[in-house]
Structures are given as C-alpha cells and as structure tokens.
A and B are shown apart, each in its own frame.
Chain A
Amino acid sequence: MLLEVKNLKVRVEDKEILKGIDLTVKSGQVHAIMGPNGSGKSTFARALSGHPGYEITDGQVLYNGRDLLDMDPDERAREGVFMAFQYPVEIPGVNNAYFLKAALNAKRKHQGLDELDAMDFMKVVKEKLKVLHIDDSMLQRSVNEGFSGGEKKRNEIFHMAVLEPVLALLDETDSGLDIDALRVVSEGVNAMRSPERSFVVVTHYQRLLNYIVPDFVHVLSEGRIVRSGGKELALELEEKGYVGQAVGARK
C-alpha cells in the first residue's frame, strides 16, 4: 500500500475544511479527486504535501507504512512525494536549471546516491525536455518568473519528470490551460505513468480526465468523500453536475 489516509481532518485559519477523509492508493494507481469549489479538494493535496498553512487536527496518513504527517515538507519531497502547484510561485534571480539541480541532488543525497555534476544533470534534463516538447530556454530563465500560466504548469510537469516522484499530487493542473497546453501537460503525465508511480489528480472539471484517465474517481463535498467509483463517475458528474451528489452539497 503506497498511501493510506485515515479520518484526515484539516483546519485552515480556524475553519475545519476536511472533516474526515479516508483514501487508499496503491502503487501504479491514478486517483482523481473531484468536487465543487470550496469542497476541500485542494486542501487535501496541500495538506499531504505539508503546507504550513494547513493544520492537521485529526487522522493519520501512512506513506509506504511511514507516518507522512511526521515528516517536514522537504523530507516528504525527498521521500518521493511531489506537488504540482495550482499557482506556482516565482523566484526571481534563481535559474530554473540551478533550482532543479539543487532539488534533484538533495533527493539523490537522501537516497544515498552520488550527486550529479552539471554535465550529467544536463543530460537528464535535455532528455526530459524533449519528451515534454519544452524549449531549452526554459532552463535559463528564473524559476517561473514572467512565465505565462501555461508555461508555469508545463514547468511543474517538467520538475515532476526530472524528480521522478513515487507519489505525484496534481493540484488543479488543468486550470487556466487552453486545449493545446492541456494536451501537452497530460501527455507528460501519461508518459510517466508506471506500476511504481501513483497519482492523485485534483480537478474541478472532467475535461482533464479525458486525457489522464483515472482508475478511481472520488467526489468531495463539504470536506468529506461522498462518492467513489471508476472513471465513468467523472462522466456522470460532467452530465449531471455536482448538485445532488451528497446531502448538504452546496448550491
């Protein structure tokens, strides 16, 4: 079992957002978390990644049998958890390649591997860029600085490809993407699907799931999972909307 979430409760600024989430993810699976605005789906992803603004008030999260909530965010990352942000931040003056090299080497060091020198690192990176159809120039720009919305999301997927996580959390990666960008991003994710890697995909729209086909779909409402099913559940939601999915669902 890769990830076991049991009765997870999360508070943000004195407001309880998640009211007891249970979720089990096995290696190689893709789980989609759907739900209306304010249902807590982004909170779920951010809490798993260890964002300091999200206070865990109850529950347990086991990652490879270890207590995930006990790890600092950087340790979670080095252990193979990756977060693709909904709004990636800009870091002016920090070269994207330099940043990624520091990240990759931090992880390699943690795994007891030799750190890559600049030459070897560039070899790894160029290969990934090719697969993702990303221009080399993205390497020399400052991290996300002056990037368009689409470029930022592609950069997230690029980071993911280089860091090769065991568990990838995609937080509304589709928001703000046009159809071409959506396709590129999805192809990147699909290329990375493997029996050793799992994905938790948070999205408001079914559209993304046409490209990244999930094994399971969970519907979140008012901080609880109210329905779970296969990929066909997403289609049903597309047709009927979120209304009526649960007692107390909004709108």
Chain B
Amino acid sequence: MSTATEQIEKLANTEYKYGFVTDVEQDIAPQGLNEDIVRLISSKKGEPAWLLEWRLRAFRAWLKMDEPKWQNVQYDPIDYQGTSYYAAPKEKKKLNSLDEVDPEIRATFDKLGIPIEEQKLLSNVAVDAVFDSVSVATTFRSKLAELGIIFCSFSEAVKDHPELVKEYLGSVVPHTDNYFAALNSAVFSDGSFVYIPKGVRCPMELSTYFRINAQNTGQFERTLIIADEGASVSYLEGCTAPKRDEHQLHAAVVELIAHTDATIKYSTVQNWYPGDKHGKGGIFNFVTKRGICKGDRSKITWTQVETGSAVTWKYPSCILQGHDSVGEFYSVAVTNNFQQADTGTKMIHLGRNTRSTIVSKGISAGRGQNTYRGAVKIGKNASNARNYSQCDSLLIGDRCGAHTFPYLEIKNTTAKVEHEASTSKIGEDQIFYCESRGIAKEDAINMIVNGFCKEVFRELPMEFAVEAQKLLGISLEGSVG
C-alpha cells in the first residue's frame, strides 16, 4: 500500500467529535408506525384538523408505496416499525424566553459551537435550534419581526400563521412525491419556517441547527421558506448526531418558494454521524429538497457540503417556472470509510430564458462510494434555456469509487446545455511537492482537497466557508498516511 493511502486511512480514523449524548428527560412516542402514531404526533402539537387530514392522506399514500431501490447505494433494510417517530425533551414549563431553555440542552448546543443566547452571537446569524423532534430556541425573532420577517419553528408557524402554511405546505414537494417525502409528511414533527415579505432583504443569515439525540428515533423535519416579491434571504442549515451503533433515519423535506424578483440562497453543512470506520452505525440521510422559482427573474441557489451520514441520498432541485429565473447547485460530497452518497440535483426549465448552473465535487476516500446523479430537463416552452454542468471527482486511495449519472431531457431546440466531467486521483506527486516545500502531509492533503472544492466554498457565506473547510479536514483526517 502506498504511503499516501496509509495516511489517508490514518486521518480517516479520527473520532467523530460530535458523538456525545445529552442526558435529558425525553417524551418519546412508542416505537412503530400506524395511524394512531400520526394522530398522536398531531395532537401533541395541537394541530388543526386540516393538517391531521393532510398527514393521514400522506400516511395512506406511503403505505401503498415501495421503498425506492434505484439509487446507487446499499444499506440494510430499515425497520420502520422499530423506530420511534417522536422524541421531545420534556418541558418543565412553558418557555417565555431563551434563558429558560433546559440547561442540559443549552450546554449541548454550546458544546456544538451553536450559541442560542443572543448576546453570545458574534456573527450576524439568527439561529433556530432543533433538538430531536422539536425546536428548542429561535434567536433574534423580535429584531426580525420588526421587518415583518417570520422566522420560527414549524409548529409555531402552524399556530400563528396557518394561512401561509396551508397555502405553501406541499406545494413544491407534494405529500405523494416519493416514499420518504410521504413518510415525512405523515410524521414530521418540527422544523423551521421562514417568510420574507415583499421587498425585504433579510439583514442577517438565518440558520437552523438540527441535532438528533434520542436513540431509536428518526428525525423528520420540514422546512418551508417563502420569499415574497423582491425579497431575499440566505439560510444555513447544520446538523450533527451522537455516535450510535444502530443506523438512524433522517428523512427531511425542504420546500423553497421564490416569487417574482426574489432570491433564496440555501446552504447546508451536513455532518450527521457517519458511522465508525467499519461501517457500523451512522445516519441514513434521505432528504427531499426542492425549490420553485415561481416568479420571473427569481433565483434559488443550493450550496451543500455533505461530509457526514452513513448513506446520503438527496437531490436539491429547482423548478424554473418564472421567465428569466435562475437555479444554481453547488455541492461538495465527501465519502470516507464505508460512507455512501448518491446526490446531485434536478434543474427543470419551464420558463423562457431560464438558466441553471451545476457544480458538483465528489471526494471519495477509504472505501467510500460517491455518485453524482443529475437531471436537466428543458420543457417545450423554455426557449433559450441554458444549463452548464460540471462534475469533478477526486479519489483518495484505491479502494473508493466515483460514479456519474447525468440525465438530459430536452424538448426545445433553442436550449444550450453543456456538461463537463473529470475524475482525478490525489497524486502522491502533489503531496510530495507540498512536502518538499515544508508543508506537512496532512496540511498538504487538506490544501489539495480544499483547492479542489474552491468553486463551491466560495458560494458559502463567510463563516460557513471557514467551518466547511475545517470540517472537510476532519472528515478526511487519517485518510492519507
């Protein structure tokens, strides 16, 4: 085995540092899934009848669906009846302010570097912290409310803004969309809700931090972001989970709606527990994310850095309905040890002069398997649509794999579609070159990998880009010898 490969392996075997468990009294639903559980979740959250009906419709649809098998990943069958679909820290009393958040939970977020006390916030970021099934804190709400911006947990949105939730929920990802979206629609427990009113540019980054803590539970959150005419918002999402030997299911749904001249930038740094170096445990991250550029000149940008999870399966997509609307997808996906990722995007061009850009960077190390799967569809009315796709794969070591599946469906002859793809191996020569300048091997690998991901990282908000670079270093730590 080459020395570079040995070092990659050594780096890769570094401990997952977010793997601790918080000891907090939990209110957990019994394991298993049936209509009673769906009703239980809905009643726990005090939901209106229409929402319960919607959940039940989704549940009945789910029962008739089969788990998809076409993705290029392998995993043990999921025991849907062995999972609990609701876990919440027991509230001792109603929270009136952030200061009343359970100290254990607050300590958890502190340990994760996510400050939920506003005075501790250094950067201009408002945070919604989701602990297992519920949102435990949302910061800067009053400041945002002055501008008419709604940023709250999904449950609160259902109570306080039912008309918005009713109008938009399921409008981009229908409750029957796919197996995991249907499951989420039936049992989702919380998530974040954002509404930016007409003409308002959100003055700070909005951020949700998801933490799975309880054992044998799944996390099924739902995020709904609406940018009204001329509005703009940048939203960040981060996630971690304790180390557990069992796999845990995370099946989220994210819906974005951009009206005329609106802009939504959605950035994810996904660092769910990836399992140990032998492939034991880790999160199944089966997520449906889709945005619609509903109005003319609207724009949606997805940026994701996927370093965690045992299996990642997601395609943040854009429906470009408005004329001159723009969809972008920038992705870095890292798979190390036994991690698998099948990720990419769908760009569906419906309006005239719509443009989309796809930049995907896949990094495989150890025995990791990385698949890019992307679809570009140009509808018959989408005159002068443009797409540019670039998929690059970087292999570290010789036991990993990279796969690319681009799909094109073009029904308008004026379309221009470009696709570029490359696969390269991190060379011992590159590493040696850095070493010969005095740069230590681990720093060299970090530098080479970060260089490879540059086009994606520069799309991330500043604080996040720094975080993502560090995370990438940690994910590949030990992967080169």
Contacts and interface: CB of A to CB of B under 8 A. Distances in A.
Contacts of A185: none
Contacts of B407: none
B439 A106 contact: yes
A41 interface: no
Interface string A179-222: 00000000000000000000000000000000000000000000
Interface in B135-184: none
Contacts of B444: 74
Interface string A94-105: 100001101100
Given A91-B447, A91-B448, A93-B451, A73 B427 contact: no
Contact of B438 (A53, A93, A103): A103
B435 A73 contact: yes
B452 A99 contact: no
Nearest to A95: B451
A251 B439 CA distance: 41
Contact of A89 (B2, B430, B451): B430
A78 B443 CA distance: 14
Interface string B418-436: 0000000001111011111
A251 B436 CA distance: 34
A102 B428 contact: no
A100 B434 CA distance: 10
Interface string B1-35: 01110000000000000000000000000000000
A78 B430 CA distance: 18
B451 A74 contact: no
Nearest to B428: A52
B448 A52 contact: no
A50 interface: yes
A106 B438 contact: yes
A250 interface: no
Contact of B452 (A77, A93, A100): A93
B437 A159 contact: yes
A74 B438 contact: yes
A85 interface: yes
B435 A50 contact: yes
A176 B91 CA distance: 74
Contacts of A52: 2-4, 428, 432
Contacts of B452: 92-93
A74 B431 CA distance: 10
B430 A91 contact: yes
A110 interface: yes
A159 B441 CA distance: 18
Contacts of B450: 93-94
Contacts of A103: 434, 437-439
Contacts of A110: 438
From B2, B429, B433, B440, residue with most partner A Cβ within 10 Å: B433
A103 B448 CA distance: 14
B111 interface: no
A88 B433 contact: yes
A102 B432 CA distance: 15
A77 B433 contact: no
B454 interface: yes
A163 interface: yes
Nearest to B441: A74
Interface in A119-165: 142, 159, 163
A76 B450 CA distance: 25
Nearest to A159: B437
A51 interface: yes
A93 B392 CA distance: 13
B125 interface: no
Interface in B33-60: none
A9 interface: no
Interface residues of A, number: 30
Nearest to A87: B429
A51 B3 CA distance: 11
Contacts of A83: 436
Contact of A93 (B439, B441, B443, B454): B454
B453 interface: yes
A51 B434 CA distance: 11
Nearest to A106: B438
A238 interface: no
A107 interface: yes
A49 interface: yes
Nearest to A145: B451
Contact of A49 (B436, B439, B448, B451): B436
A72 interface: yes
A94 B447 contact: yes
From B439, B447, B452, residue with most partner A Cβ within 10 Å: B439
Given A99-B437, A163-B438, A73 B451 contact: no
From B427, B440, B453, B454, residue with most partner A Cβ within 10 Å: B440
Nearest to A94: B451
Given A92-B452, A94-B447, A74 B435 contact: yes
B436 A89 contact: no
A94 B438 contact: no
A53 B436 CA distance: 14
Given A93-B451, A93-B453, A142-B451, A85 B438 contact: no
Interface string A47-90: 00111110000000000000000001110111000110100110
B448 A74 contact: no
A22 B453 CA distance: 46
Nearest to B443: A102
Interface string A107-122: 1001000000000000
Nearest to B448: A91
Given A52-B428, A73-B435, A106-B440, 16 more contacts: A49-B436, A50-B435, A50-B436, A52-B3, A72-B441, A74-B444, A77-B436, A78-B438, A85-B436, A88-B433, A92-B451, A93-B451, A94-B451, A103-B434, A106-B443, A159-B437
24 contacts: A52-B432, A53-B428, A72-B435, A72-B441, A73-B436, A74-B434, A74-B441, A77-B435, A77-B437, A78-B438, A88-B433, A91-B447, A92-B451, A92-B452, A93-B450, A93-B451, A93-B452, A94-B451, A99-B434, A99-B447, A103-B434, A106-B438, A106-B440, A159-B437
Interface of B: 2-4, 427-430, 432-441, 443-444, 447-448, 450-455
